[in-house]
Structure 1
């Protein structure tokens, strides 16, 4: 990764350019649209250009503290709560994912020394990637549209999810009582593996994204080609999914979500371990996401909101090829959620367990899943204000 010269030492903005994202037009879009707009608005910036997958993660993990220190000096402040770091991303969702994980990785050591260290990180997402889920879910239709939204200054929260696996150390007694039926794994035993802002998937969607890596030159069409291949060789993926705490289920007959009664709990920690719904599988398709759209023309979870406290969970269990093709076709408009074979929930905590092992797609990366209880994975929206630092220009 290269750090190019800044137009001013007092910078309010980092521009992260991934020239390899999507159809590799990011550098041209920066030169012809983004830079002229920033220069016209007299907004100084530092340009960071990535050179390979994983470089944004490494760069921000190694340099976030220095960047914030430089920003504090430029603002002549010592208060971390006054710091607002703006990051404009010319790339796809994978680049945003890397930056989020890099920033949070860099800030972990500061949390111990300064318990109130809570800078604001504001993303401007310029859609030059392949899927552009964040930008599409916000209704951003072009590079110029994204620039206009940045200049308008309106933002909303970009809530972070955690993907956790079991701690390998011997379990300890939970610090809170857990209502019956309890979670098979107490809350205290989970270790965060990744932070995610777009999607976690299992089954057909994960297989599609995995195989689409080999067709990157086709742009968005690579997902269609990979999906058709995987539907032709359709598999059913053995797993169980458990939803904990308050949940809502979409009712297609009335066209809205309805709360599902759950057991009472005396604290949020306890509620997070109260089992509300068990889905036995096998699964053809499973998404756990914070975004309404995965790409233009594909809206699998149309009521998802990046700014709210819910996970949107879309499940299709044990269906055949023709049914799956019909569901995916209707997902172009979001009409598939009225199909009785599609289950659509809003939940706070989701756990996945598979008897055979497999892989979970996490914002385009792939997390191996071990078989059985020891390989159980937990996804939840973070409530910790030292993690929920991110906003997006909308």
Structure 2
């Protein structure tokens, strides 16, 4: 059985984070999104985030009954008499979620859903929901929306009503003690330090990242580490201005790396999004819907090179600079000689030193994980 639409009786889930970005989420909900849902006669269930971690906890605790209700709303009956009738659930169905918040809110929903169904039979070959996101850009960076070219809240609503979606592919991040999934960016070095320090400038909105970046460029550090790529890669070639495919068929679980960057790293991002905020496009070849991770790596450079790179990211021409490495990959491992910090979709993870502490990044092929789509 193919993908079925959401039942007319089943509500769209609306996740509102009133604290994200410039705190305009509630106003946009009341003036733009809610009227559009009412006009389309779409029932909704409003879930308002009241504290950090509330959204992920909500989905961990509630995704099972939500999926059960969704399946039942789309179920049919078989048999010739009432006594013989049995419930037939659809193989697949759509769960629609409108997000008024930033990329971090999407991250919490994704991880809440997957953690909530982990170890259960709720997502299997016999019933695999398709979770569809409509992201209303009310966060600070709005990387997902910006990468898809969504201009504003009304544009996002129009795309939701049009009904066209593309896959929102996840990256798995696995360390010695944990595994989680990311939808936007994993970073090490200057980018991670910038996001970490931007909290003290949150009142500035998007400008908080520029302020924190200036602070970290002024006190530029190098971050020890080794980045290893496994399996096929595409590496940007400045002479041909194109990505060249390395077709080495090396299994992603084998120990032999296709390529190793020795570091130290000044700047390192591993992402699925082309833009991380308006006017900042560090990975211009990235696609939300493909099975590659895009890596921008700058190793052991000074302030002049970093400033030069930042100055060209709006147009994507920074990939032609000698000190910039641009690679598309399937599986990556990061190892550092000392304990380090990663930025994971705006949150932070500490990883250990040496081989025992290495972190693996991968675009998983598990169909029970890759169930997310986004209106585009």
**TM above 0.5, one fold?**
yes
Is 1:315 the counterpart of 2:314 in the alignment? no
- Conservation of the 8 A alpha-carbon contact between 1:245 and 1:273: no
For residue 35 of structure 1, give the secondary structure of its aligned residue in structure 2.
helix
What corresponds to 1:31 in structure 2?
30
For residue 158 of structure 2, give the secondary structure of its aligned residue in structure 1.
helix
What corresponds to 1:74 in structure 2?
73
Count of residues in correspondence between the two structures: 359
Give the ranges of 4+ consecutive aligned residues of structure 1 lying more than 3 Å apart after TM superposition: 111-117
Change (3 A) 1:282 1:356: same
Alignment of 1:269-348 (within 5 A): 270=253, 273-348=255-330
How far, CA to CA, are the matches of 2:339 and 2:349 in structure 1?
A: 11
What corresponds to 2:335 in structure 1?
353
What corresponds to 1:95 in structure 2?
105
Deviation at 1:109, TM superposition (A): 2.4
Is 1:238 the counterpart of 2:248 in the alignment? no
For residue 46 of structure 1, give the secondary structure of its aligned residue in structure 2.
strand
1:329-350 Cα offsets, whole Å, 9 max, x none, are 1112211011111000011001
What corresponds to 2:161 in structure 1?
151
Is 1:391 the counterpart of 2:365 in the alignment? no
Deviation at 1:75, TM superposition (A): 2.2
Is 1:61 the counterpart of 2:71 in the alignment? no
Alignment of 1:98-177 (within 5 A): 98-111=108-121, 116-166=126-176
What corresponds to 2:82 in structure 1?
none
Change (3 A) 1:83 1:273: farther
What corresponds to 2:84 in structure 1?
none
Deviation at 1:76, TM superposition (A): 2.9
- Conservation of the 8 A alpha-carbon contact between 2:123 and 2:129: no
Deviation at 1:11, TM superposition (A): 2.3
Structure 1 unaligned residues grouped into runs of 5+? 1-7, 168-191
Let me know the Cα RMSD of the aligned residues.
1.7
- Conservation of the 8 A alpha-carbon contact between 1:57 and 1:99: yes
Moved more, 328-337 or 58-67: 328-337
Deviation at 1:289, TM superposition (A): 0.4
How far, CA to CA, are the matches of 1:165 and 1:325 in structure 2?
A: 32
How far, CA to CA, are the matches of 2:172 and 2:351 in structure 1?
A: 15
- Conservation of the 8 A alpha-carbon contact between 2:265 and 2:297: yes
What TM-score, normalized to structure 2?
0.92
How far, CA to CA, are the matches of 2:60 and 2:142 in structure 1?
A: 23
How far, CA to CA, are the matches of 1:207 and 1:107 in structure 2?
A: 33
Deviation at 1:261, TM superposition (A): 5.0
What corresponds to 2:192 in structure 1?
206
Moved more, 55-64 or 325-334: 325-334
- Conservation of the 8 A alpha-carbon contact between 2:252 and 2:331: no
What TM-score, normalized to structure 1?
0.88
- Conservation of the 8 A alpha-carbon contact between 1:12 and 1:71: no
Moved more, 157-166 or 103-112: 103-112
How far, CA to CA, are the matches of 1:245 and 1:230 in structure 2?
A: 34
